[in-house]
Structure 1
Amino acid sequence: MSEPVEHSAVSEYQFLVENHLRIIYPEIDHTTFARDLIQIMCPDGKCQTPQTHQNHWDQSNVVMITYGDSLLTEDQQPLETLLQFSEEFLKETINGIHILPFFPYSSDDGFSIIDYQQVNPRLGDWTHINAIAEKFQLMSDLVINHCSSQSEWFQQFRRGESPGKDYFFCAAPEDDLSEVVRPRTNELLCLIETPNGTRYVWCTFSPDQVDLNFANPELLRELVKIIKLYLDHGVDIFRLDAIAFIWKVAGTSCLSLPETHEIVRLFRTLIQFVAPKAMIITETNIPNRENLAYFGNSNEAHAIYNFSLPPLLVNAMLCGSCQHLKTWMMSMPPALHGTTYLNFIASHDGIGLRPAEGLMSEEEIGNMVAMMEQFGGRISMRTLAGGVMRPYEINISLIDAMKGTLAGEDEWQVERFLCAHAIMFALEGIPAVYIHSFLGTLNDQAAVMETGHNRSINRHRWDYHKLALALADETSIHSQVFQGMCHLIKVRRRQPAFHPNATQFTLHLGDSVFAFWRQSMDRQQSIFAINNISNQEQIVPLSEINLIGTDNWTDLISGELYTDLRAELVLKPYQVIWLTNRWSRD
């Protein structure tokens, strides 16, 4: 019997890429096209076979989400100011920065890209991006479902010129589009006159955001060049924006179709053979079960956004009950090694409501929406079949969302806000914190009036010097929030039991106490995360937590030692205790 042939990394790379292409593009020359894509990704012919089921993260991973111009000064480029702030204020708190689209754009605060290969000159240039990537793990958006109507590609489409004339997805008004799922209320098809006649281009999000045609392999080739460019400039994490919408077939929902999943697998293969520690994160603001599918068989996304967490957690804080939060958490499968969740509560968008479908009743969602409006929030709608309008997203600053409960405003705003984040920091997965959550930024109603867009409410731009003064004022809400957030994160980052893939088990201590157990992968550290999510004092007998009597138990947050395991925990409103048998606070 002959010895098995040992394939080189390049041979394996070629084999896998070809297999992806056979599924996506059955009619093309897969061998030649795969070779072309690999040549783009590793022109020197050097690559390495990635190890499967490897965690490229640990408990120290914390990502900050920000626009490139969230902080402004008169004498610096915004990206320089961002780096200065991150090094001065957050050096021991975060290790990753997600800079929202930093390219020239025409609308949607960056998500309508004109030129994928340039940094927006109002922010800085590639040298500033490189400088951030040298100090922090850099996460960048790959906005490829659509691009700007002002892009050169779309101008070529209008003129009937190559290559752009074949880069955009078109349909006909008579096509069966009744099942298409969309997050917007504008018309799906936009009429464009071209030298070749009238065309109806597909616009999932807005007329300025024209959907690209992934059925054209030449477009894919151009997008792979963009991926390689970003890798060369230090991008470690690729956020695949609105990826669920990229493949369209009339008569279907045009959401998360099989070809979409295969393209994600292709991107992962193309990236990981040249950058084995790089990550792909899918941004799929869809119901929970569909979202989980983007893990694939540990061969798609390294991480998926935990989109159900924000509405469930905000609702729990509003009503003082963790019933839905517990039910959801018990239904969530542990992420396999090599995959994890990306946890967040607030982002540049809003609190999505679709991921709450099937987890909360329509009445409960309606109550939450109504209270968020009382707290100054705005509500974005989507159109269902038959023209029915339904709330799609709550637009509000998270600190304002924590003003009170369903009974109205109260005095526990900051405590409630920090409790919500403490829950997120303790959960399985990597935490991502929006910059305005770090800063306790309030609703920016003036920005909404200026732009006419609901999402502007949570996209404030700070004058850096005014911010520094606010953070130095210990009486300000901004300082209280910032100090509280940094303390929690610094403690979290030292705990092996908070590794994104460490064991997690839900506890049952009543509706007003949301509690769960984490255990490090070496089984040396246990942490019981116990959270009073109500504005009333709660009492928890230590005997109900089932602590091991031979261990010493300490609250990591306060430093308090618990020696009498027959005693009771008396939890103040929104108090959090991280009870551990292994002291790793400092």
Structure 2
Amino acid sequence: MTDATLESRFAALWPDVVRPLRALYGERPDFDALLDRLRVEVTDAYTARDADLRALDDRRLVTPDWFQRTDVLGYVCYTDRFAGKLADVPSRIGYLRELGISYLHLMPLLKPRPGPNDGGYAVMDYRAVDERLGTVDDLRDVATALRREGVSLVLDLVCNHTAREHEWAEKARAGDPAYLAYFRTYPDRTDPDRWEATLPEVFPDFAPGNFTWVPEMERWVWTTFNDYQWDLDYTNPDVFVEMFGVICHLANLGVEVLRLDAVAFMWKRLGTNCQNQPEVHLLLQAWRALSRIVAPGVILLAEAIVAPDDLVGYLGQGEGAGKECELAYHNVLMVSLWSALAEQNAALLTHTLQAMPPIPPTAAWLTYARLHDDIGWAVTDENARAVGLGGFDHRSFLSDFYSGTYPGSFARGAVFQANPQTGDRRISGSLASLAGLEEALERDDDTGAALAVRRILLLHHLILTFGGIPLVYMGDEIGQRNDPSYAAQPDLADDNRWLHRPMMDWAAAERRHDPATIEARIYQDLQRIVALRRDTPELHAQASAEAIWSGDPRVFTLLRSSARGDLLVLANVSPHPVGTTLPTHWGAVHDLVTGEDAEGQVVLSEYQVRWLRRR
């Protein structure tokens, strides 16, 4: 029997499947057969989707802005470090909901290779769960429990590469020509050397170069990240189909947001850095259209930590506008916020945001102060020059400042992956430690600790008011600091990003209701502004977010404007009080944070943020 819903989705969305795929694979003689395979894959996945998930699809179709609303707040954690095993996660849902969490990203939990696995991003089996965490049934149960409590499950799909122990790679190593074609391999260094001429190194410290010699194959394999992570070759449509099958599998387990890891690297072009190629966007558009036929309740998140000019493209531009990923990380905002705090100057933050092109109204940013990864200083030379800075010098300053070596720095971070050829030095460190809390507590400096708490809250104010889905990394809500114990664990010791991936301190979390503690000072204020955001319709993600030059480099000004109303956000990025004049046409205003009324001018105390609505 023909399913009318499925047929209507095919009719509406199949053209959006064919268009990008024709551009990618249309010259192949088996192109029509490829489309037939995908029709079968879609039909089978749709048929297998259970009634509860179809009901979710129906709700999302009538509330397409569900992820753009002001009641959506994200939380990011490793399952074992947050709860233990997957089966233990439901017992922690109450804690999440207390803060207002409705989006939970459980960091990589698909079956990784044994031994070093890049924090779970070297996947050995996309259809199995890390046995240390549980089973596929446990994952399905977690998704169901979360959904019943109004929390969407977010999961990683590593789509640029597999572990070398993955079945596809095992078959390639055995010489199977069909699976050799899943990867990029070379018999000698001739082609790899040509590629390397323009390729950057992601991990120059412990994984230099982009190719690995595999003796049993007698071939060089493309390995952008680590020698055990083999890049897939998306010029082969079989790879595209395989990965779409994985998307359907995860969607039918109840995953509601798929975080597509390392998408920027998926297509290679000689003479380039092999990132952000046009074909990457075509791949994403095809996946988006196909997944909407099967599971319109599921959305795609592009993990693209790239330069500002490239970033917006992952949310769709031109012919792909509204037809690519719904979500992308606003890495540029994160970097610019830390820069503003280090400089006590919002000029670069303001200019960088002003230079960003608009995004489609059907998409949204993920905003955050930090996540599981290191911080790379994505400050372009052009943006730095525009505010009188040297790009290289400013990036070096930020690395010095947040590693704690710059005179007067409040930060406690660690340099990650210093590259002597480029001078690039990324930074590891927890939010609280980078914001000065660790340093102040070690010196028993109450004033310094109070300022650090204000910095932590300022960062959260700005990610909560910018628009999109704000993300809290596990432990930041209670001010967890760096955890150097990773260095004693052989599997982790070589990667200092584990410095800022501590085990959840549940004893500290219990102190969140004791007003005499640091944990409560952070948690309760954060809880209050989360609730305030929920009741502020001007902060819906469809509202424009316009950075405005305040005339005072210490004051960052953000205007949120739409048919829902206007909101003016003022943030003092310095540790000194500052007065600032309001736009004359605003007249009298009401501060939603403090409850105060003002007109003409307001005073901002150190690191204070005000949310101003016209009275």
Question: What TM-score do the two structures reach when normalised by structure 2?
Answer: 0.84
Distance (whole Å) between structure 2 residues aligned to residue 148 and residue 405 of structure 1: 37
Q: Are 2:125 and 1:118 aligned?
A: no
Matched, 1:102 2:120: no
SS for the counterpart of 1:351 is coil
**Aligned equivalent of 1:66:** 77
Question: 2:43 aligned with 1:42, yes or no?
Answer: yes
Helix, strand or coil at the partner of 1:147:
strand
Q: Which protein has the bigger helix share?
A: 2
| Equivalent residue number for residue 4 of structure 1 | none
Stretch deviating more after TM superposition (47-56 or 267-276): 47-56
Q: Letter of the aligned partner of 2:539 in structure 1? A: F
Note if contact 1:312-1:356 (Cα within 8 Å) is conserved in structure 2: no
Q: Secondary structure, in 3 states, of the residue corresponding to 1:160?
A: coil
Equivalent AA in structure 2 for residue 435 of structure 1: M
Q: 2: distance between equivalents of 1:293 and 1:53? A: 24
- For residues 54 and 44 of structure 1, do their structure 2 counterparts lie closer, same or farther at Cα, with a shift above 3 Å needed? closer
Report the equivalent of 1:489.
530
Structure 2 letter corresponding to 1:340: A
Measured at CA, do residues 84 and 51 of structure 1 come closer, stay the same or move farther in structure 2, by a change above 3 Å?
closer
Match of 1:364 in 2: 394
Once residues 199 and 37 of structure 1 are traced to their aligned partners in structure 2, the CA distance between those partners, rounded to angstroms, is 32
Q: Does 1:422 align with 2:461?
A: yes
Task: Tell me which residue corresponds to 1:558.
Answer: 594
- Provide the residue aligned with 2:608 in structure 1: 575
1:519 matched residue in structure 2:
561
How many residues are treated as equivalent by the alignment?
A: 557
User: Residue type of the partner of 2:97?
Assistant: L
CA contact (8 A) 1:53 1:337 kept: no
Shift of 1:406: 13
Q: What does residue 327 of structure 1 align with?
A: 351
Match of 1:132 among 142, 146, 150: 146
Q: Does 466-475 or 490-499 show the bigger shift?
A: 466-475
Report Cα offsets for 1:271-318 as digits up to 9, x if no partner.
112222422121111111011222233122222211111221011011
What residue identity is the alignment partner of 2:569? A
Tell whether the 8 Å contact from 1:168 to 1:211 is kept in structure 2 after alignment: yes
CA contact (8 A) 2:260 2:300 kept: yes
Change in CA separation of 1:535 and 1:428 when aligned onto 2, cut-off 3 Å: same
Amino acid at match of 1:190: T
Aligned to 2:338: 314
Q: Structure 1 residues 329 and 214, CA, compared in 2 at 3 Å: closer, same or farther?
A: same
Shift of 1:579: 1.6
Preserved CA contact (<8 Å) 2:160 2:265: yes
Return 5+ residue gaps in structure 2 as ranges: 1-6, 48-53, 385-390, 405-410
**5+ unaligned residues in a row in structure 1: which ranges?**
1-6
> 1:530-583: per-residue Cα shift (whole Å, max 9, x none)?
1111100111244x453245xxx3221222234xx24x422210111112247x
Structure 2 SS opposite 1:485: helix
**Take 1:382 and 1:302, find their aligned partners in 2: how far apart are those partners?**
33
CA distance in 1, matches of 2:98, 2:109: 22
The reply to whether residue 190 of structure 1 matches residue 223 of structure 2 is no
Residue 44 to residue 445, structure 1, CA distance change in 2 (3 Å):
closer
Partner in structure 1 of residue 575 of structure 2: 535
Q: 1:238 to 1:388 in 2, by over 3 A?
A: same
Deviates more, 1:553-562 or 1:173-182: 553-562
Contact conserved, 1:113 with 1:147, CA < 8 A, in 2?
Answer: yes
> Structure 2 vs 1, CA of residues 276 and 364 (structure 1 numbering), >3 Å: closer, same or farther?
same
* Aligned twin of 2:521: 480
1:574/1:326 CA distance change after superposition, 3 Å: same
Q: What residue number does 1:304 align with? A: 328
Partner amino acid, structure 2, of 1:458: H
Distance 2:254 2:43 in 1: 15
Contact residue 89 and residue 142 of structure 2 kept, 8 A: no
Shift of 1:357: 5.2
Shift of 1:343: 1.3
Partners of 1:435 and 1:516 lie apart in 2 by: 27
Structure 1 residues 35, 392: closer, same or farther in 2, change over 3 A?
Answer: farther
Aligned AA for 1:286? V
Q: Contact 2:45–2:294 (CA<8 Å) still a contact in 1? A: no
Matches within 5 A, 1:439-454: 439-450=478-489, 451-452=492-493, 453-454=495-496
CA contact (8 A) 1:319 1:405 kept: no
Tell me if structure 2 keeps the 8 A contact 1:245–1:254. Answer: yes
In structure 2, the CA distance between the partners of 1:89 and 1:432, relative to structure 1 (3 Å rule), is: closer
Contact 2:317 2:360 in 1 (8 A): no
Kept in 2: contact 1:181–1:255 (CA 8 A): no
1:362-401 alignment, distance < 5 Å:
362-374=392-404, 375-381=411-417, 383=419, 388-401=421-434
* Equivalent in the alignment of 2:267: 247
The letter of the residue matching 1:538 is: V
Hey, what's the Cα distance between the residues in 2 that align with 1:405 and 1:328?
30
Partner of residue 543, structure 2: 502
CA RMSD in angstroms comes to 2.9
Distance 1:455 1:92, change over 3 A: closer
Deviations 1:316-360 (Å, cap 9, x if unpaired)?
011111000110121223322112222112000021223555433
Supply the distance in 1 between the matched residues of 2:584 and 2:20 (Cα, whole angstroms).
49
Letter in 1 for 2:101: I
Aligned residue for 1:169? 184
Work out the CA distance in 2 between the residues paired with 1:329 and 1:15. 35
Equivalent runs, 1:67-86 vs 2, <5 Å: 67-72=78-83, 77-86=84-93
Aligned match for 2:303, one of 276, 283, 308: 283
* Whole-angstrom CA distance in 2 between matches of 1:205 and 1:158: 19
8 Å CA contact 2:379, 2:395 repeated in 1: no
Say whether the 8 Å CA contact 1:311–1:356 is kept in structure 2: no
1:380·1:394 contact (CA, 8 Å) conserved in 2?
A: yes
| Structure 1 residue aligned with 2:19 | 19
Task: Measure, in 2, the Cα distance between the counterparts of 1:572 and 1:89.
Answer: 31
Deviates more, 1:483-492 or 1:251-260: 251-260
Residues 213 and 331 of structure 1, relative CA distance in 2, 3 Å threshold: same
- 1:497-550 residue CA offsets vs partner (Å, 9 max, x unmatched): 00011133333331111112223433xx322211111100111244x453245x
> What's the TM-score, normalizing by structure 1?
0.88
Deviation, structure 1 residue 392: 4.8
Q: How far did 1:370 drift?
A: 0.8
Q: Matches of residues 399-414 of structure 1 in structure 2 within 5 Å?
A: 399-403=432-436, 410-411=448-449, 412-414=451-453
2:3 maps to none
Flag as ranges the 4+ runs of structure 1 deviating above 4 A: 44-54, 404-409
- In 2, distance between residues paired with 1:370 and 1:307? 20
1:11 deviates by 3.8
Deviation at 1:10, TM superposition (A): 2.0
